[in-house]
Amino acid sequence: MTDVLIVGSGGAGMSAAIAAREAGATVVLITKSALGASNTGRAQGGIQAAIAADDSTADHFDDSFAAGHSDARPQLLRTLVEGGPGAIAWLDSLGVAFTRDDDVLRIIRCGGARRPRLLQAGERTGAEMVQALRAAVRESGADVRESTELSALSRDGDSWVARVRAKDGSETEISTRAVVLAAGGGLAGEAARLGLKSTNHPDATPEVMELAIALGAQAEHLDSWQRHPTGALWPAALAGYALPETTRSYGATLHDVAGERFVDELAPRDVVANAIIRIVEEGRGATAPDGAEGVWLDTTAIDRENGAGFTAKRLAYVHNRYLRQGVDITKERVLVYPVLHYRNGGLVIDEQGATTLDGVFAAGEITGGVHGTNRLMGNSLLDTVVFGRIAGRSAARRPLA
């Protein structure tokens, strides 16, 4: 019998594992493929926290609550934003090197935020986080079982029994006093069902959430999905890739086929995505060589606004990704259309990360209520750390209660 079983190794699962070990619990972590293979590792843009001198957690709350259409549970959102500065300090202590310019922390304004609040670790903040968290999980003494997925969960008196399947198809059982579900929002699975593209890692499948719901766990806003406004439409080889929101933070503008701008590029994501869809529906979209329709993202504006060489330096990853397809985004605008990206809703939790199933906790994209029905960019990575650590600690304390 282990104290805590953690399902998933994105930001939420790994943060939970570290916290549970710090609280003295024995931990088994199972994950579908390699430790850290997750949506978290794909995150490029950054993580939000109110740490700038002119910022406050109250403003972070207000921006996030408004963007989520007032559908967030206020106490969960308050826990998220108030945990922001501490989460950044914790990641820093684990070795995540947040980007500085001339020794000053780089903080960028992104869509829906009234002032700069987004921190970055290079251009691939999620990958940097995964690297640091993975090392900390390995050091923590958690029993990590890779290529192992949860296939069933059942109650056994006061504890739980998880049925897990290895890649070779063999099945075993793990008895545990508490469970932390951190298996993400599963949107790659949803996209596959709908025949759509998504930005998600192939491991992002919804069976863990569905399993919890089948056991009676409450969920909310399950069908509230977020589209990333600027999914790459052309070249076709980039389909499913989203140009990070920071392209718009740095000055890239959106245009219809006639070259007209039609939306505030730094409005919340759903506003921008809906505006693009409307433009295409009105017949004002631009057409890709394969007939797909989208709008222009004028990435050439970035260097015009910030000086030559800015894109190659600050957006090297996206710049190189397009260069490999023969497109120089500093010289050519690119075609974009919204792409399935994030599940806003999920399992109901309280401020301690407890689901409505006794002894079952959850954190990260698998949960609902933190962001309402539209998440602000950068708030999800923060969610994984703040609620991952809370859920890990709560699960560890349960057997001692």
Ligand X SMILES: Cc1cc2nc3c(=O)[nH]c(=O)nc-3n(C[C@H](O)[C@H](O)[C@H](O)COP(=O)(O)OP(=O)(O)OC[C@H]3O[C@@H](n4cnc5c(N)ncnc54)[C@H](O)[C@@H]3O)c2cc1C
Q: Are 254 and 296 a contacting pair, CB within 8 Å?
A: yes
Among 30, 72, 276, 329, binds ligand X (CB under 6 A): 30
Nearer to ligand X, 173 or 281 (CB): 173
Phi, psi of 153 (to 5 degrees): -140, 135
CB of 257 to ligand X, least distance (A): 27
Residue 138 bears catalytic tag = no
Our finding on whether 384 is near ligand X (CB under 6 A) is yes
Peptide bond into 235 cis (omega under 30): yes
Q: Where does this chain touch ligand X (CB under 6 A) — which range of 94-102, 171-179, 196-204, 273-281?
A: 196-204
Binder of ligand X out of 4, 5, 18, 40 (CB under 6 A): 40
Based on the shown chain and the rule CB under 6 A, indicate whether residue 31 belongs to the binding site for ligand X: yes
Residue nearer to ligand X on the CB measure, 310 or 317: 317
Asked if 79 is part of the footprint of ligand X (rule: CB under 6 A), the reply reads: no
Residue 24 burial class via C-beta count within 10 angstroms: exposed 0-12, middle 13-18, buried 19 and up: exposed
Minimum Å gap between C-beta 125 and ligand X is: 6
Select which of 78, 134, 177, 269 is catalytic. 269
Smallest separation (angstroms) from ligand X to the CB of 48: 7
Residue 345 interacting with ligand X (CB under 6 A)? no
Q: Of the two residues 87 and 295, which places its CB atom closer to ligand X in the complex?
A: 87
224 near ligand X, rule: CB under 6 A: no
298 binds ligand X (CB under 6 A): no
Report the DSSP beta bridge partners of residue 161. Answer: 154, 175
H-only helix segments in 47-106: 57-67, 74-82, 84-94
Q: How far is the CB of 290 from ligand X (least distance, A)?
A: 22
Terminal C-alpha separation, the chain: 17
Q: What are the residues whose beta carbons fall under 8 Å from the beta carbon of 335, sequence distance 6 or more?
A: 232, 233, 234, 286, 288, 292, 294, 295, 296, 297
- Report the residue from 5, 12, 180, 232 that binds ligand X according to the rule CB under 6 A: 12
Taking the complex as a whole, the smallest distance from the CB of residue 97 to ligand X amounts, in Å, to 16
Give the H or E element holding residue 211.
Answer: helix 207-214
Q: Does 378 participate in binding ligand X (rule CB under 6 A)? A: yes
Specify whether the CB–CB gap between 391 and 12 falls below 8 A.
yes
Q: Does 123 bind ligand X (CB under 6 A)?
A: no
User: Closest separation between CB of residue 148 and ligand X, Å?
Assistant: 7
Cα angle at 303 between 300 and 308, to 5 degrees? Answer: 125
> Is residue 157 classed exposed, middle or buried when 0-12, 13-18 and 19+ CB atoms within 10 A define those classes?
exposed
For residues 234 and 289, is the Cβ–Cβ distance under 8 A?
yes
What positions carry a catalytic annotation? 269
Site of interaction with ligand X (CB under 6 A) = 7-13, 30-33, 37-40, 42-47, 125-126, 149-150, 182-184, 199-200, 203-205, 207-208, 242, 342, 364-366, 377-381, 384
